[in-house]
Amino acid sequence: MYYLYILKCADKTLYTGITIDLARRLKEHNFSKLSAKYTRARRPVKLAYSKRFRNRGAASRAEAKLKNLTRSEKLNIIKNTL
């Protein structure tokens, strides 16, 4: 399984990514040098949204679509999944 996720950073920005281990990746974003450079400077981050996919291709396509959305569209996705 692959996960598409959106993080809310401490500076209120959003970060989008994919992973096979969501808990590990969230921990990396908050505490490790293995985090994305973007989130390293904006800690702590919180998981705002996630969705499972069967394979990497589907997750990557969904990530590309999500990254092309506006901030308000992403916030609507987050809001509608709570």
Q: Which amino acid is at 46?
A: K
Question: Which tens digits make up the pLDDT trace of 24-60?
Answer: 999 999 999 989 999 999 999 999 999 999 999 999 9
pLDDT number for residue 82: 65
For residues 29 and 18, the answer to whether their CB atoms sit within 8 Å is no
Enter the tokens of residue 81: 């999944």
Instruction: Tell me which residue range forms the domain holding 19.
Output: 2-80
Confidence of residue 80 (pLDDT cuts 50, 70, 90): very high
pTM of the model: 0.94
Q: What CATH number does the domain containing 51 carry? A: 3.40.1440.10
The beta strands (E) that lie in 1-82 are given as 2-8, 14-19, 46-53
* pLDDT at residue 81 tops 90: no
Count Cβ atoms within 10 A of the Cβ of residue 36 and give its class: 0-12 exposed, 13-18 middle, 19 or more buried. Answer: middle
Q: How many domains does the chain have?
A: 1
Confidence of residue 63 (pLDDT cuts 50, 70, 90): very high
